[in-house]
Structures are given as structure tokens and as C-alpha cells.
Structure 1
Amino acid sequence: MKAIHAAFIVRRDAIDDNVPNPLGTSLSQRSVVFVCISFFFVSLRLFTRYFYGKIIGADDAFIFLSLILAICLTVTYNEEALNGFGLHTDQVDSAHKVTAFKWFFAAQILYKAATCMTKLSICTLYLRIFPDRRFRKAVWVTIGIIVAYTIASIFVTIFSCNPVQKTWVKTMAGQCLDSRSIWYGTSVMVILTDLMIMVLPINEIRRLQLPLTKKLLLASLFSLGFFVVACTIVRMVSVSPQTTAADQIYYQAISNSWTFVETNIGIICACLPVVRIPITHQFRRFGQSTRKTALSSAPSQSGFDLKTIGHIPSRKQLSKNDEKNSSFEALIGGDGETRKIRMNMIITPSNSLTPSDNKVMAAHGNPTSKDGTSI
């Protein structure tokens, strides 16, 4: 650990403390703000899953890993700023430049790993709630593409220079690949995989027996990745031409400003499909509690009660509450067979359930998790 610490940390007194670094300061502060927002949404997601659904799935594990990587990424941004990122090259001595570019090197790897974890979280969420076999195959193919390009991009990042140390010691003799080509290639793959993830559930949503407005709402939740795509495009268009500029320590700080926005917006968007309904429900309950006769006149008007999560509704209840309970349970969790029946209840009218479906529903009238607790 001492060797790692010594490799990254150097004396900072060579940077004139009187030289303002507004870009570096902005990078540090905004990165902390964004990662705190991501932390809130991931915490809310895990709270929702555990306390309402009693199940933490692979999608939750992936988004948690993405958050950890985003926190590490924030640390690298702050270390970059402390070592001169955001200043111009003639304002920073060579020792601090080396340290700053070491942190930048680590940040590139963390960024690619974090975005990969976020995409895998969304894909495994699809596997969790959509039972169609062809759809699941398409999701697995998408997962394979994401993992393959992430491994390839990290490999290229690490070995883009020969020797590797030239990545952070710019004056060292050696050769490096064209950074602009790497930048464009990575950005294009990020955009393509984001679009693939957004397109995947469209047909499944179209098959749901829901009003058009609810279909559009559900589709919009799974299409929030457009915000991430927008960040990637802006970063690619505005910053990529500057990747070969001489004043790298200044321009790469601008690049990082878009990188942490893209990373954390991706995490937030991946959490929204899970946390939207509990948040909406709580707001509705709060609004009803302000009315004098709300609690005395009728039960909650929100359409479902969180205390009934995990309960298979009767046909009468399903028609009364629309499909809100079942779709919510599918997002929150449940065992595989029961969840499949729930999705069938959404996709097909209740009066068209098969006898085998009814048997499974009867057998799972009050499903429990593996530890015996009620789901």
C-alpha cells in the first residue's frame, strides 16, 4: 500500500497556491454533488427492493458496483484537480503533471467499468421482469456485446502507449496510439449500446394490455438513456477535437466534466424504473393526508397498497386496480414462476388465463422468499 501511495501522491507545494483554478474546483465540487445524488437513488432502490420485495437481484448488485466505481471516479477527479487539472500546462510543474495524468489514467478505466456495470444492471432488470424467450436471448446477446467492448476498451486504454508509463510521463520516449481515434471509437460504442438497451423492451411494452398513456410512461422510463446519449454526443463533439491539443492538463479537465455527468446520469436513469412507483405512491399519500376527509372517506386512491406487495391479486382486484400491482411486483421482485404468471396477467386479459396458470397462482397465493419471509 505504501508503494501505491507513493506512486500517486507527491508534494503539492510546487503549484502556486495563489493561482486560482476555477475549472478544477468546479470539477471537484460538481463531481461530489452528482455522486451524492447517485448514492441517494441507489440507496432508495436497494431500500425499495429489500424492504418491499425481500429480494436483491443481480440488477441491484450491478448498480451497486457501478456506484462504488463512480465514487472511486470522484476521488480521481478530486486528485486530478489537486495536482493541476484545470490549470494551463505552464502553470503546473512536471512532477504534478505526472501525478495528475496517473489519476487521469485510473479515471479512464473506472469510467469504462462503471458504465458497463450500469448497462448490465439495466439488462439484468429486463431479464428479471420480461419472460419472453426470444427477448431474453436478445438481452443476453446485448450483454455479451457490452462486456466484450468494455474489456477491449479497457485493454486499449491500458496499452495505448509503449511503454505504458508514457501514458502519464508525456516526455518519455515511446509511441502511443492516436487518442482521438480511441476517443471516437469508445464514444460510438457507448452510444450504440445505449440505443440497443433502449430499443430492446419496446416490443414487450407494446404487447402489454395497458392504456396508451401508461405504455408511453413505461417506455419513457426505459428510454431515459437518451440523456446519457446526449451527454456522450456533446462530449464527443465538443471535446474530442481537443484531445490532441498541447494543453492537455487543461482540456482533459473539460472532458472529465462531461464524463462524471454521463456516468452518474446513467446510474440515476437505471434506478428510476424501480423507484418511480414508490416515490409516486408516497407523494400521493402525502397529498391525501392533507385533505381532511381523505383517510376517513375511503382507502388510498393511488391504486395499490404497498402492504399487499407479493400478493397475487384476484381477477376482480386486477380489473379494479388495473395492472399497477402486478407491474410493480414485477419490478420489485418475486420468485421466477410467480413473476412469470404476473407478467402473463399484464400481457393477457385475466379471463384468458389457462388452467395451469390458475394452479400456479393457487400454489403461490402467498409466495415467500428462500429464507421463508413473505415477499
Structure 2
Amino acid sequence: MTEPESHRLSSVILASVFGAIALVAVCVRLWARCVIQRRAGWDDLCTALAVIPVLALAVTFVLSSEVYGTSMHTWDNTLPNLLAQRQVALIMEILYVVGSGLVRISVLLFYRRIGSRSISRGFMIATWVSIGSLVGYILAFVGVLFASCQPLHAFWDQIDPVWAATHAWQCFNEPVHIILATAIAIIQDAVVTTLPAVLCWNLRISFREKVALGSIFVVGYLTPVIAAVRIYFIVRLYYLTYDTSWTSWYCWMLAMMELLIAIACSSLPAVRVFFKQYKPYVRVMGTARGIKSVFTKTTSRKSLSVQRSRRESLSTVRLAEPVYSKQSMDHDPS
């Protein structure tokens, strides 16, 4: 019997690598803000809160892939696995909406803080409007998820044809809901990533610093690109294939990657502060090691020369002692 085709450990590798990068970036950010600068703000709090649903999404994705079979084709799964996949999918949708919203809010709060004294009032109003729309996005889509099916367990039980034929249930148009949520996320990502161009250009800093700061946020354009690719797999999942398990794996893999990259990119300015703070210590340590090495070599050479000169002095003294004794005896008045 041949082994069913699967994505194998791809989910574990992707979640581990990019999850570790995101976690380290956030930890460095919090250290830079709270310890080095001692100026932690609401944006840092939102980032700390966003880590919870973002990493939970990564863990849930691995669980769905490796335990409940989304890494395999639908025809290679059992009915209990298919039901569990739908239950986990509901959890991941909630985590995605909350996590993506908090990451974007943290970025906008960061803009508001660094641009409060040098940016126009129109920019600040646009920032607050964007934050308000994100809060509404989180509340609206989480509410829609819980109200999507009546009763709620019909969200996963409808996969069972026997249950679906023998029970009364009703669900909203799920594909439209998911596609709309992803499309709004793309627009929000584009807005959140484009605002730094205006912010950096109006800041009273050197052109070189503007380019350095702007290049950090250019990486943020990866998230809307990933979300756009995810829309293709969502359309394929609901309209073009019956292999829901295999296709949903790509949807949730891209959702996980989108959030992990987004939260890592949002922490890059603080990572820059962290390395700028500790770079001199690294140089000093390297210089100290070099000096120690040179000093050790010089000391060893000096010690050898000192030992050689001491041996020569002792031999000279020993040769001189008999002559001195004989002369003393010849001139002894006694």
C-alpha cells in the first residue's frame, strides 16, 4: 500500500522558522523600548498582545496539518478528520482576524507617536480613521464568524451528509465572507505600508536616514502580496475544486506567513535601535580580544627575554665571585 501524498513536515518547518524570527523580533523590540529607550507606548502593548493570536495561529496550523490531515487530500482523510478540520478552521479564522488587526493597529500607533510633532493634522486624522476602521474590522468579522451558522456547530457538522440531511440548519455565504475579509485586509495592508512614505518624507531627518527608515517598511509590502495570492487559493477552495483539505492547507499557510512577516516587519525599527545600542559593545569586545591576544604574545616575548637576561646576569655574577674573593685575600691586611 502506497503512502498518501502529503505536504509532510512543511508546516512544522515554516511555522518554526518564521515563528522564531517573529518572536525574536518582538522580544528585541520590547527590550529596546522598555529597557534601552524606556519609552514603551501603546504600539508596543498592541504588538505584545498581537503575538498571542499570531503564534497561536501558527501552532493551530501545524495541528491542523499534522494531526487532522489538511496536509493530505480530502479522499485520504476520514470523516472525523474532516469535521475536526472545520472546527480548527473556525478557530484559525478568529485568530487571523484578531492577530492581523492588532498588528496593523500597532503600526498605526507607532506612526502616530513618532509623527505627533512633525506631521500635519491631516496625516494624524488619517491615522486615527485607519485605527478606527481596524477596530471595526475586528469586531465585525469576529461577530460574523459566530453568527455565520445557526446553530454554530453546523459550521462543521454540515460536512457530515447524514447530519446535514436529518437536521435543520442555516449558514451564511461563507466564501463571500472570507473573500471580503481578505480583500479588506489587503487594502488595510496597503494603507498601513504606504503611510510611512509620507511620514518619513516629512520628518526632519537626513535623506540617508529617510531612505534607511523607508526601506524597512518597504518589506511590509510582502504582506499584501501574500494576501493577494491567498485570495486565489480561497477562490479555488470554494469554487474550483472538491479537494478542500489540500487547498485549505495553502490558504492557512499563507495566512500564517502573512501575519508572521507582518509582526516581524513592524518590529524592525526597534531592532535597529537595539543593534545600534549594542554595536559598540561588540566592537569593544572584539578589540579587547585582539588587544589581549597581542598583549599575551608581547608578554610571552618579554618574559622570555627577561628570563634570558636573568640567566646571563646570574652566570656573570657566578664568574665574578671567585675573582673578587681572591683579590680580597691578597689585600687582606691580616
What TM-score comes out, normalization by structure 1 length? 0.67
The percentage of counterpart residues that share the same residue type is 24
Please list the CA deviations of residues 316-346 of structure 1 after superposition, one character each: whole Å capped at 9, or x if unmatched: xxxxxxxxxxxxxxxxxxxxxxxxxxxxxxx
> Are the aligned partners of 2:108 and 2:131 in contact in 1 as well (CA < 8 Å)?
yes
Unaligned runs of 5+ in 2: 292-334
Q: Residue 52 of structure 2 aligns with which residue?
A: 68
> Does 1:231 find its partner at 2:226?
yes
Give distance in 2, aligned partners of 1:136 and 1:95.
51
Q: Residue 238 of structure 2 aligns with which residue?
A: 243
> Are the aligned partners of 1:187 and 1:236 in contact in 2 as well (CA < 8 Å)?
yes
Question: What letter matches 1:124 in structure 2?
Answer: L
Give distance in 2, aligned partners of 1:21 and 1:32.
22
Q: Residue 113 of structure 1 aligns with which residue?
A: 98
Q: Residue 140 of structure 2 aligns with which residue?
A: 152
Give distance in 1, aligned partners of 2:202 and 2:80.
60
Q: Residue 299 of structure 2 aligns with which residue?
A: none
> Does 1:275 find its partner at 2:271?
yes
SS at match of 2:72: coil
> Does 1:258 find its partner at 2:249?
no
RMSD: 2.6
Give distance in 1, aligned partners of 2:266 and 2:195.
15
Alpha-carbon shift at residue 284 of structure 1 (Å)? 6.5
Q: Residue 210 of structure 2 aligns with which residue?
A: 215
Alpha-carbon shift at residue 61 of structure 1 (Å)? 1.1
Give distance in 2, aligned partners of 1:250 and 1:160.
23
Please list the CA deviations of residues 30-74 of structure 1 after superposition, one character each: whole Å capped at 9, or x if unmatched: 223221211111111111112112233211111111111122212
What TM-score comes out, normalization by structure 2 length? 0.75
Q: Residue 165 of structure 1 aligns with which residue?
A: 153
> Are the aligned partners of 2:233 and 2:250 in contact in 1 as well (CA < 8 Å)?
no
Please list the CA deviations of residues 133-159 of structure 1 after superposition, one character each: whole Å capped at 9, or x if unmatched: 443222111100111122222222332
**Which of residues 131, 142, 147 is equivalent to 1:143?**
131
Q: How does 1:61-100 map to 2 (within 5 A)?
A: 61-81=45-65, 82-100=67-85
Rg larger for: 2
Q: Residue 27 of structure 1 aligns with which residue?
A: 11
> Are the aligned partners of 2:49 and 2:102 in contact in 1 as well (CA < 8 Å)?
yes
Cα gap change, 1:238 to 1:78, in 2 (>3 Å)? closer
Q: Give the count of matched residue pairs.
A: 279
Give distance in 1, aligned partners of 2:215 and 2:41.
23
Cα gap change, 1:85 to 1:24, in 2 (>3 Å)? farther
SS at match of 2:205: coil
Q: Residue 315 of structure 2 aligns with which residue?
A: none
Question: What letter matches 1:138 in structure 2?
Answer: A
Give distance in 2, aligned partners of 1:258 and 1:154.
20
SS at match of 1:168: helix
Cα gap change, 1:56 to 1:208, in 2 (>3 Å)? closer
SS at match of 1:155: helix
Q: Residue 196 of structure 1 aligns with which residue?
A: 191
Alpha-carbon shift at residue 123 of structure 1 (Å)? 1.1
**Which of residues 187, 198, 207 is equivalent to 2:182?**
187
Give distance in 2, aligned partners of 1:152 and 1:93.
34
> Are the aligned partners of 2:115 and 2:203 in contact in 1 as well (CA < 8 Å)?
no
Alpha-carbon shift at residue 221 of structure 1 (Å)? 2.2
SS at match of 2:259: helix
Alpha-carbon shift at residue 19 of structure 1 (Å)? 4.2
> Are the aligned partners of 1:42 and 1:63 in contact in 2 as well (CA < 8 Å)?
yes
> Are the aligned partners of 2:223 and 2:261 in contact in 1 as well (CA < 8 Å)?
yes
Cα gap change, 1:57 to 1:211, in 2 (>3 Å)? closer
> Are the aligned partners of 1:158 and 1:164 in contact in 2 as well (CA < 8 Å)?
yes
